[in-house]
Amino acid sequence: MRNYLYFRPSRETFNEVTSLFDFLWPTATAMWNLRWQVDGYLRIRPQATVHELSNRFVIGSGIHGANLKRACVDLSWEQQQEQFAKFLLINIFALHESYLKRVLEDLGRYSKDLENQLQFPTATDASGNKKGIWGAIDSITATESTMLVNGLYSQLSGHSRNSKPILDNLMKCYRYFKECRNSITHNGSFADRKTADAYAEFSTIATTTDLGVTEVPLHTPVTVGAPVSLSLRGVVGFCDIILKIIVTLDAELSRSKLAEEVFKAYWLEKHQRRYTLKTDLSKKKNQIKQLIARLNLPTPPATDEFETFLRVNQLVG
C-alpha cells in the first residue's frame, strides 16, 4: 500500500527532514575524513601551525577562522558527534514546530495553546478536562467530515509509520528530547527539573514494543544541574519518532470537518477548470476517483459523498 499524507505541511516536512539528513551525513563523513587527513599531516609535520594547516586544507574554500588543530585533534570524534547531535536536535524541532503551526493554519484553527497541547502527552487538568495531544485532536475533530472519514481516513491511517495506539508513548519520548533541546538552547546545556522529570517519564516506556521501533533512541539519565548528554545515534532515532507523530497527526486531523476546506483548496489549485461529470454512473465514479488521485490523495472506495461535495461547492458540473 502506498503511504499517503493528507496535509501539504506533512509532505513538505518529510521532504525537509530528508534534506536535513542529505546535508548532515555527507558533512559528518567529510569531518571524519578531514580528521584522518589532518592527523596524517601532523604525523609527518608535527610542528605544523594552525596557519599552515589552513593553507593546506582550507585555502580556496572562502572559509576563514578554521582552527583545524582544535577541531581535528583537541576534540574527540565522540565530542564532535555530540555536536552534530545538537545541531540535528535543534533543527528537527524547528521543522516540527513549523509543521504544527502550518497544519493548524491550514485548518483555520491556529492558536498558541493548540500548538502547545500538540507537544504533550494526554493528561487531564484540575477540572477533569482532557489536555495534551488527544485533547487537541478531539477539539479539532469535534465535528467530523463523513466524506473524508469514509473516503480517505482508512488509507491515510494505513501509513506504515502510523502509530495511533501508542501516540502518547511517542509524546513521552518527544518531551524528553524537547527538554534536552530546551536545556541546550535556554540553559547552557544544563538540565533542569523539567528535563529530569521528562527523562523519568520517558524511561518508563523506553522499550521497542512501547515505541513501535526496532531500536529505542539512545538516551542517558539526567541529573539536575549537570549537562545533558546526547548521542548522534539517539537523535537520529528520535527523528523517526517525529515522523511517526506527524503521520499519526496527519491522519487524525484529516477527519475534521475543517479539512474539507483543505480538500477544496487542493481541488481548485490542481483542477483549474470546472469539470463536467460524465452521465454514465460507472464512468462518473472512475472520473471522480482519477481527479482525486491527481491531488496526491488516496483513491476513495466510494464517490457519492465526494460528488455531493463537489456539486455543492460548484467544483464540477
pLDDT digits (tens, 9 = 90+) for 36-61: 999 999 999 999 999 999 999 998 88
CA distances from 94 to 88, 101, 121, 187 (A): 10, 11, 19, 18
Q: Give the rounded distance of the alpha carbon of 243 from its chain centre.
A: 4
pLDDT value, residue 274: 83
Cα 259 to Cα 106: distance, rounded to the nearest angstrom? 8
Task: Look up residue 292 and give its amino acid.
Answer: I
Residue 205 has φ and ψ, to the nearest 5°, of -125, 15
CA max distance for the chain: 86
Other Cβ atoms less than 10 A from the Cβ of 118: the count is 26
Q: Can you tell me which residue has the cell 610542528?
A: 47
pLDDT value, residue 125: 87
pLDDT value, residue 272: 79
Task: Look up residue 64 and give its amino acid.
Answer: H
Q: Residue 236's closest CA among 10, 4, 20?
A: 20
pLDDT digits (tens, 9 = 90+) for 143-167: 999 999 999 999 999 999 999 999 9
Cα 296 to Cα 299: distance, rounded to the nearest angstrom? 9
Cα 94 to Cα 31: distance, rounded to the nearest angstrom? 24
Q: Can you tell me which residue has the cell 495511533?
A: 164
Percentages (nearest 5) of helix, strand, coil residues in the chain: 65, 5, 35
Sign, CA torsion 85/118/292/270: negative
Q: Residue 75's closest CA among 47, 38, 25, 43?
A: 38
Sign, CA torsion 202/204/207/209: negative
pLDDT value, residue 128: 86
pLDDT value, residue 243: 98
pLDDT value, residue 273: 77
Predicted TM-score of the model (pTM): 0.95
pLDDT digits (tens, 9 = 90+) for 124-140: 988 888 999 999 999 99
CA distances from 201 to 2, 156, 174, 194, 205 (A): 35, 30, 11, 11, 8
Low-confidence ranges of the chain (pLDDT < 70): 1
Treating both helix axes as pointing N-terminal to C-terminal, what angle do 133-140 and 232-253 enclose, rounded to 10 degrees? 30
256 beta partners: 144
Burial of 61 (0-12, 13-18, 19+ CB in 10 A): exposed
